[in-house]
Amino acid sequence: MPANYEAEMRLDVKVPMRDNIKLSADIYLPRTQGPFATILIRTPYSNNIDPIIQNARRLANNGYACVLQDCRGRWDSEGDFYPFREADDGYDTQQWIGQQDWSNGKIGMAGGSYLGSVQWASAPHRSPHLTCMAPRVICCDFHNGLAYPGGAFQLNVMLTWGMRSNARTGQSIDYHNWTEAFRSLPVGKMDEAAGRDLDFWKDWIQHPSYDEYWQEFDDEKRFGEIDAPAFNMGGWYDLYAPQTFINFNGLRQHGRTPEAKQSKLIVGPWPHALSASTRTGDIDFGPHSLYDLDGEELRWFDYWLKGIDNGIVDEPPIKLFIMGINQWRDEWEWPLERTTWRKAYFDSGGHANSLIGDGHLSFSEPQGAENDQYTYDPRYPVQTLGGNNCCSPHIVPWGPYDQRPAEMRGDVLCYTSEPLAEDLEVTGPIQVVLYAATDGHDTDWTAKLVDVSPTGYAKNLCDGIIRARYRESLSEAKPLEPGTIYEYTIEVGVTGNVFQKGHQIRVEISSSNFPRFDRNPNTGNEYGVDNELRTAQQSVYHSKAYPSHILLPAIPS
């Protein structure tokens, strides 16, 4: 029979850190004889809100101690909050828990988004008490995974989340005019235009390259120092979809112990909120798409913290929801070993502008015109229509939406396949190799993978961006030579989708996806200081000499 204990609460317990700052923790204990394995949840969003309290009580009901801790500088904790600097506080808290009379010395960590990042931050410090983790929807490299994917600033999430997270308590952002705020210039003072003076905003803008500032927070470099296994949970339409797989592989391949290499992964057709609804964006994926993540997490904790042999580590380590056919499937590795990597080439008669142009996507090498051209005016950027956004869907929607409003623009190139003669599954990481030129010293290139149904509905699957100055390295900006053709590799994200018979594969190429990403002003100036916006003339090449294409991970049926 499962445990069903009543919960005892000990509220606002002050936990001392190494610098004598005290962090506030609410502790939930089962009303039975201890000591207990402990679940640690650290949050900047208050340990006194209903969902997190209900989770703590559920864990206590199941025989676990649960510690809900406010991060430094937030709510009832002392000190000053600075995003992502959580490693020492997490370790010190684990050491404190291990010394309490109600603790049996074993700790698991839980939580998603920032509550997941604090798990990764503390893990390389290897507290002897940290036994396992269950991080949801988060990255470990905050430069490429959050702030500057492909070198472009991820404006929407950085500004809205930054505004929410600045005050000691919560900050409502629902009354801002975000249409105006996102367009204010220069970017370095956008926080002030939105009503706040954020020290960390200034730091983010002053460090557009991957440098020592971002290295401090980059736990991708530290997978080999981690003892504890992680149960990673993510969604195809989550902000951190690619990083969920990176984190999984990081521990499976480089974890310091055999236990760490037993990490697991589940990814569904979900946005950042994960399995909260059958519907994401426009699409209802059906009741089968929901998954009891809390139940799976409890099985994980029972195995590692209570020694219950429930078979969870003997199961395939990956569970994926394959869209299009809407089915769950177990897998053993990522990318899938049976993947056939197929190049689909861009081609046109020279007028691929918009979905009514002559752009074509083919598995044969290009035969048509040498290039397509368009004008990118950052005063009128292509609007974000869903996708891998976070964390305010009422401001910038997330998930799949009809992309045809964007695809009717002349500054969006559309390359569309013929209707498929049979189903084609595409599951894995997506890349676009683009040969392109611009008339300035910097610009952006965007790419989007779209599933087009026979009705014309254009469902976005994943998208990506590259800032041209970071084409060679995210650590060093190199200006362009105007008019020169360069090769760009755009990381378009990850997906698991069956393009069904009669559907078409479409790739969109443009230079903006706003306000998910900031607008490149096309000047080549130092980042964040521009008040000037310059119109750019863009050329995308697709000849035998410059074979622009998308690399699709095709899965045999």
Give me 3's structure tokens.
Answer: 């445990």
Topology (CATH) of 7-140+227-331: Rossmann fold (3.40.50)
pLDDT score recorded for residue 391: 87
Q: Are 184 and 193 in contact (CB under 8 A)?
A: yes
Measured from the Cβ of residue 221, the count of other Cβ atoms closer than 10 Å reads: 12
pLDDT score recorded for residue 1: 52
User: In a 3-state reduction of DSSP, which class is residue 423?
Assistant: coil
Q: Are 81 and 71 in contact (CB under 8 A)?
A: yes
CATH 1.20.1260.10 is the classification of domain 340-555: no
**Residue 50 burial by Cβ neighbours in a 10 Å radius (0-12, 13-18, 19+):** exposed
Q: Are 272 and 137 in contact (CB under 8 A)?
A: yes
Q: How is the chain split into domains, by residue range?
A: 7-140+227-331, 144-212, 340-555
How many residues does this entry show for the chain?
557
Cα 371 versus chain centre, distance? 33
Residue in the block written with tokens 């752009």: 359
pTM above 0.75, yes or no: yes
User: What whole-number distance in Å separates Cα of residue 477 and Cα of residue 470?
Assistant: 5
Any idea which residues carry the catalytic annotation?
A: 113, 238, 272
Q: What is the mean pLDDT of each run of 10 residues along the chain (557 residues)?
A: 85 98 98 96 95 96 98 96 96 98 98 98 98 98 98 96 81 82 94 88 97 96 98 98 98 98 98 96 96 98 97 98 98 98 97 98 92 98 96 90 98 98 98 98 98 98 98 98 98 98 98 98 96 97 97 96
Cα dihedral sign for 230, 225, 206, 21? positive
Measured from the Cβ of residue 98, the count of other Cβ atoms closer than 10 Å reads: 17
